[in-house]
Structure 1
Amino acid sequence: MTFTFSDRQRQILDEVRRAGQVSIESFAQIFGVSPQTIRRDVNELCAAGALRRVHGGVEMPQSENLLYSSRRTLNGVAKRKIGAAFAARIPSGASLSVSIGTSPEYAIGALEAQSDLMVLTNNLNIALSACEREGWTVRVPEGAVRAGDRDILGPQVEEFFARYQVDFGVFGVGGVAEDGTLLDFTEAEVAARMAILRNCRRSVLLLDRTKFGRPAHVRGGHMREVDEVICDGPLPAPIAADLAAAGVTVSITEDMQ
């Protein structure tokens, strides 16, 4: 099932992401509507997996990622800009290893001018759309498909990415810790992402600003280990300084024309 959120629901998500937990009464005052109206909004958000109910209010899910269909609709404008910035760096004839996640999906979708690409991915959403591009080669690993996310994880995925040395490795993350450590929701997600990082000539991390401080609990890698970061807005100052010292290229889409 695909969920489409209203503008108010997106604002509710943004406020909960910022505050951690917000009451129904607070939202009613913020938006000038009845508590019943807010309850309908948050009930839909909870049904989509975007929020979790607590006594008197809502909070972000603490241990699981949002449904893929829900993540597609979040921060779509930012992800499109990030995808366009990524696409500007990719020449025709390139090879790419691409991770799970919606930001990489936006990025591959933005490769409209490129021809003769080879795309290796464990993200079936990306694989299916890439198959429609004339002249592209698409390869996926074997294994069970994860329901809802439509991706493949496991040791065979790591072995799959390790069999190739591609021009570009592109991936997103579940979250970023205060010190720049990369976070995801399962060990298998981290292992697949790290396999991409190890087996590419240039690594590109795609993320929007909501990933900073977002709760995800499996550590794996650090932002300073990638070659380039593309984000929709400025990074936290300590992380930006760390990446500058490490020689990581940082591209901010709001600064681009």
Structure 2
Amino acid sequence: MGAGLPADDRARAIIDLVRGQGYQTIEALAAQFGKTTQTIRRDVNLLCDRGLLRRKHGGVELPPEDENLAYPARQVLNIEAKRRIAELVARNVPDNATLFFGIGTTPEQCALALSDHPGLRVMTNNLNVAMALTRNPSCEITIAGGRLRNLDRDVVAAEARDFFSRFSVDIGIYGVGAVAEDGTLLDFGLDEVEMRRSLAQHCRQRFLVLDHSKFGRDATVRGGHITEATAVFTDRPVPPAIAGQLKEAGIRLVVWSDDATHTASSNGRG
């Protein structure tokens, strides 16, 4: 299986194989894909450098779930799901809106999807979002000052924590590291949680954007609950317990539908 696959397709297939079956040796991957060990080693070295896999004893495995992936790895992970979520969000943001954007790759995709919305005013601590929106000539962008996390290209240090409190906007768009089974929001650092909670406190609507992989994932820092959002945007149906919590709290749940032009939405506030 896999002989003759283009390199990009082979890389995705390697990730899927490791995700499904766990640790794989270089020799086993070479036999699986009909390639030399040198070719497979180049493939997995690139995947490891991007944070998608981790080297281990002559082979590769997935990175630990309680460690966040490097930003370049997260940018390509579940990318189609994130683009679908972004399309849903873009449909729900009116022209001339004022917006907060938080950190993460899904908010970045939302910014890209809003690049043709006229008259937006945006405040963000995410430089990837800011750069994505510079292609929108009518968008006014204000960014947080402070110490930059170089690889993530965001500002979450203490000196930036009062940034969002200076404004009051229509909609805040933010992601999260993980969602526990009880609906608790989880992140990988205290600074990330503090910035997200500050953002949520100073906007009239709160759009939580997250793909299906975030449900049940491990992260270390607790901060907030999924029912504190105004609307939750995702690419697949959420776990039944989460869906029940959102329905009981009257939170709008917007889920991508594969018929491309429709979304499934709960009857909540919005």
Q: TM-score range by the shorter chain?
A: 0.7 to 0.9
Count, aligned residues: 252
Contact 1:17 1:60 in 2 (8 A): no
Equivalence for 1:13: 15
Q: Work out which of the residue numbers 21, 45, 48 in structure 1 matches 2:47.
A: 45
Contact 2:87 2:110 in 1 (8 A): yes
Equivalence for 1:65: 68
CA distances 1:21-73 after superposition (whole Å, capped 9, x unpaired):
43337963994546835544332211112222234541223453222222212
Equivalence for 2:141: 138
Residues 183 and 18 of structure 1: is their aligned pair in 2 closer, same or farther, counting only changes over 3 Å? farther
Structure 2: gaps spanning 5 or more residues: 1-6, 262-270
Matching residue's letter, 1:218? V
Q: Work out which of the residue numbers 123, 126, 138 in structure 2 matches 1:123.
A: 126
Q: Work out which of the residue numbers 221, 236, 240 in structure 2 matches 1:237.
A: 240
Residues 243 and 11 of structure 1: is their aligned pair in 2 closer, same or farther, counting only changes over 3 Å? farther
Distance 2:244 2:27 in 1: 37
Q: Work out which of the residue numbers 167, 184, 190 in structure 2 matches 1:181.
A: 184
Distance 1:41 1:223 in 2: 38
For residues 1-257 of structure 1, what are the structure 2 equivalents within 5 Å?
6-17=8-19, 21-24=22-25, 28=29, 31-33=32-34, 36=37, 38-55=40-57, 56-254=59-257, 256-257=260-261
Contact 2:103 2:154 in 1 (8 A): yes
Structure 1: gaps spanning 5 or more residues: none
SS for the counterpart of 2:23 is strand
Shift of residue 147 of structure 1?
1.1
Matching residue's letter, 1:143? G
SS for the counterpart of 2:170 is strand
TM-score w.r.t. length of structure 1: 0.88
Matched-pair identity in %:
42
TM-score w.r.t. length of structure 2: 0.84
Higher-Rg structure is 2
Contact 2:65 2:217 in 1 (8 A): no
Shift of residue 171 of structure 1?
0.6
